[in-house]
Structure 1
Amino acid sequence: MKFAVMGAGAVGCFYGGMLARAEHEVTLIGRQNHVAAIRRDGLRLESLAFDEFIEVTACTDASGVAGADAVLLCVKSPDTEAAVAAMTPYLSQSAVIVTLQNGVDNAERVRSLVEREVLAAVVYVGSEMRGTGHVRHNGRGELIVEPGRSSERLARVLNDAGVPTSVSANVRGALWEKLVLNCAYNAISALVQLPFGELCQRGGTAVSTAMRDIVAECIAVAGADGVNISSDVDETVARIMATIPAGQYSSTAHDVATRRPSEIDHLNGHIVGRGAALGIATPVNHLLMMMVRVLDNQRADSALAMRTD
């Protein structure tokens, strides 16, 4: 198959790299510094099992999706509409768009903008960009894809490429479970700038207690919204703490560290918004959302000051 990865950061480079390693035709669409390194040396994909430079096409322009059978949409949730608008003139009529993003509503947003098959996918991977054109895989890598015309074929291709992939009718529930994981960990990791293992070591039982409060609010909102996920808070917290690789920083922590806008409005902010609509109090999620927003606004104000000086 021919794949394009729109938004080739840590997630997109991992999955695109695995597909290219399995000799599929892949185009990575990303930032100029990464594209330049990949064009020069190939994509460096580092994992526990191998460390290789993989030959793959890379570009900075949305025209890179032209001719692709499948587009893996890996941009940040706030950039979904802009990315789809940029891709649309170049998409083939038969292309399927697979949303590999944080948040729970990206597939619906894409469907409202383009007449193509759109599949929501839940991503469980610990990966990070360790340098220009260099992605490191820290653990996991599973995908859960919703049913559709192309789902079974995609699952076969991805499984054959070494990416454990399943098709599930309850992707909405799985997306919410991933949202709960992100809400429980991302903002805290961003605020203290520590990887998961060190966060737990330094914070002790306070970390699991805080996660319990966050998760309890998320589960209450999910239940009121008719989402099919576990209602056992303690079990969910234990699963989260067993799931996250010890050395993994959250994507929100990377956003804060690199002074990029975060996805907080689509994570804890989504819980706050749905909670308000459904009459569910979410004070802990609200506090985390507010604190990360303050950091986002500080970066925006700093950037504006630099442009006007």
Structure 2
Amino acid sequence: MKIGIMGAGAVGAFFGSVLHKAGHEVTFIARGQHLKAMRENGLTVKSDQEIMKVDGIFSDDPASLSDSDIVLICVKSNDTEETAKNLKNVLREDTYILTLQNGVDNEEILADIFGKNRVFSCATYVQAAVQEPGVIQQNGEFSLVVGELESSALESAQEIAAALKDSGIFAKHSSTILYNKWKKYIWNVTFNPLSAAMEASTGDILDQPNLRALAEKICAEVISVGEKLGYEFSSYFKENIFPNAEQARNHQTSMLQDRLNGKKMEIESLCGYVVRKSRELNMSVPTIETIYHILKYLESSDLKKTK
């Protein structure tokens, strides 16, 4: 297949490299020093098993994806709408769109622009970071859960999941993909914003009593909003959110990586979405709302320092 990686940062570059290794024609869209390094030296991916060198197609022009069979959307949620509008003008009408992004609001934006029948959601489980421009470090196991947004696209979603699995990715299909995304979203909201605000790893949050107490309050609030929206979470799932986080205790969350690298954080897609939904539902999420306003201030302050 011809596969486009729209946003070849840590996650996009890693999964793109696996697909390239499997024999697919992969085009990586990136920018800045990361793109420059890949153009000059190729893409290097370090993992627990190997060091992989990828000499693929590296570009900053979305038009390079015009002939893609499927495009993996890996840009930050802040850029989803603009990215989708740019791609809409260049992609074939039968190109599939698969979002590997954080949050649970990107699907709606993409579906409004491309239509529900060609947009597919994916819950992404991977620990990856840009070690330096052109070099990705990936640790531990990785997997993808793929699903359709409407029942008429079921067969296509199953085909996408099968293609990913055949390429060496532990991938499976789910017809309740937004429920899967919500479970991952709960984890992200519990740890990402707090880690970015405090510049703390997942392990720091688990080990420091005050931070853990805050995380537990955040977790309870986001679960309450999800349940009000109609998602049911088992007691087993709730009880194992923090024990399961032990597997990622040395992990720097994506939001923390963005802050440390001077990039805009996904504040609106993570914290902001819960705050907005809670207001629509006449609910109170005081801990999440506090972290939301702290992060907005920190981002504004950090960006001023870089100017």
Structure 2 length as normaliser, TM-score?
Answer: 0.92
1:247 alignment partner, SS class = coil
Of 188, 193, 197, the residue aligned with 2:194 is 188
Query: What SS does structure 2 have at the residue aligned with 1:150?
Result: helix
The count of residues paired between Structure 1 and Structure 2 equals: 301
Task: Name the structure 2 match of 1:105.
Answer: 105
Q: Is the 2:205–2:215 contact (alpha carbons within 8 Å) kept by the matching residues of 1?
A: no
> 1:197 aligns to what SS in structure 2?
helix
Deviations 1:199-229 (A, max 9, x none): 434x1x4343322211111111111111233
Change (3 A) 1:275 1:239: farther
Task: Return the alpha-carbon distance in structure 1 between the equivalents of residues 237 and 301 of structure 2.
Answer: 34
Q: What are the within-5 Å matches in structure 2 for residues 1-309 of structure 1?
A: 1-115=1-115, 117-147=118-148, 148=153, 149-201=155-207, 203=208, 205-230=209-234, 234-243=238-247, 245-302=248-305, 306=307
Partners of 1:67 and 1:33 lie apart in 2 by: 26
CA gap 1:144/1:234 in 2 versus in 1, 3 angstroms: closer
Query: Is residue 212–residue 233 contact of structure 1 (8 Å, CA) maintained in 2?
Result: no
Residue 113 of structure 2 aligns to a residue in which SS?
Answer: coil
SS of match in other structure, 2:97: strand
Q: Which runs of 5+ in 2 are unaligned?
A: none
Identity %: 29
In the alignment, residue 44 of structure 1 is paired with which amino acid?
T
Aligned 8 A contact 1:212 1:237 in 2: no
- Secondary structure of the structure 1 residue equivalent to 2:72: strand
Does the aligned pair in 1 maintain the 2:158–2:173 contact within 8 Å? yes
Q: Which whole-Å deviations, capped at 9, do the CAs of 1:274-307 have from their partners, x for residues lacking one?
A: 111112210111111111111112234445xx4x
TM-score of the two chains, using structure 1 as the length reference: 0.92
The more displaced of 63-72 and 28-37 is 28-37
Deviation at 1:192, TM superposition (A): 2.2
Give the secondary-structure state (helix, strand or coil) at the position aligned to 1:262: coil
Q: What SS is found at the alignment partner of 2:49?
A: coil
8 Å CA contact 1:144–1:171 kept in 2: the answer is yes
1:168-220 per-position Cα deviation (integer Å, ceiling 9, x unaligned): 1111111111111011101121122232234434x1x4343322211111111
- Matched position secondary structure for 1:102: coil
The superposition leaves residues 78-106 of structure 1 with CA deviations (integer Å, 9 ceiling, x where unpaired) of 11110011111210121000011111021
Distance 2:90 2:102 in 1: 25
Q: Which runs of 5+ in 1 are unaligned?
A: none
Q: Secondary structure at the match of 1:90?
A: coil
* 1:138 and 1:248 in contact (8 A); partners too: no
CA distance in 2, matches of 1:271, 1:140: 29
The separation in 2 between residues aligned to 1:109 and 1:100, in whole angstroms, is 14
Indicate conservation of the 8 Å contact 1:186/1:252, yes or no: yes
TM-superposed deviation, 1:236: 4.1
